[in-house]
């Protein structure tokens, strides 16, 4: 067995740390009613709106679970459902102003983490890491 975790595990550890820091920053700002599961659904919302089936697929959860999480987010005022202009049978989930504000706070915390990573790694290593991860999206991210 290797002394160091695999690259995938190392990426997960970094992601988990960012996620924890974002949730802590939101809690400090008074957002105490948002769970990690709910935030993972919110992260996947298209600014123009997303169908529930797409959210479920991207979050790798069942449609029922996605529906329950969206119901919770809607009751808390973070998202709303509106008719899909391209399909009268479908509804789109979109951020409310409150949801948008939470996403802006989360993005600010992520930006702070990236500043710290750049300082720790140095410009060249940080840019190389980011470039490599962007390149990996070509073969790993079907939703890019």
- Rounded-to-integer distance, Cα 114 and Cα 41, Å: 22
- Rounded-to-integer distance, Cα 46 and Cα 7, Å: 29
What six digits make up the tokens of 50? 């997303």
* Per-domain boundaries in the chain: 10-140
Class of domain 10-140: mainly alpha
The DSSP bridge partners found for residue 92 are 82
Return the H-helix or E-strand segment holding 69: helix 63-75
pLDDT in tens for each of the 144 residues of the chain? 568 999 999 999 999 999 999 999 999 999 999 999 999 999 999 999 999 999 999 999 999 999 999 999 999 999 999 999 988 888 999 999 999 999 999 999 999 999 999 999 999 999 999 999 999 999 998 887
């Amino acid at each position: 067995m290797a002394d160091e975790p695999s690259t995938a595990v190392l990426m997960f550890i970094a992601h988990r740390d960012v996620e924890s820091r974002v949730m802590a920053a939101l809690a400090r700002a008074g957002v105490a009613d948002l769970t990690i599961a709910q935030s993972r659904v919110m992260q996947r919302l298209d600014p123009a709106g997303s169908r529930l089936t797409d959210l479920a697929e991207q979050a790798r959860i069942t449609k029922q679970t996605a529906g329950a999480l969206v119901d919770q987010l809607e009751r808390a005022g973070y998202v709303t459902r509106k008719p899909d202009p391209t399909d009268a049978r479908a509804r789109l989930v979109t951020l409310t102003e409150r949801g948008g504000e939470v996403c802006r706070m989360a993005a600010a915390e992520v930006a702070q983490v990236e500043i710290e990573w750049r300082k720790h790694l140095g410009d060249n290593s940080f840019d190389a890491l980011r470039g490599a991860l962007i390149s990996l999206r070509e073969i790993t991210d079907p939703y890019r």
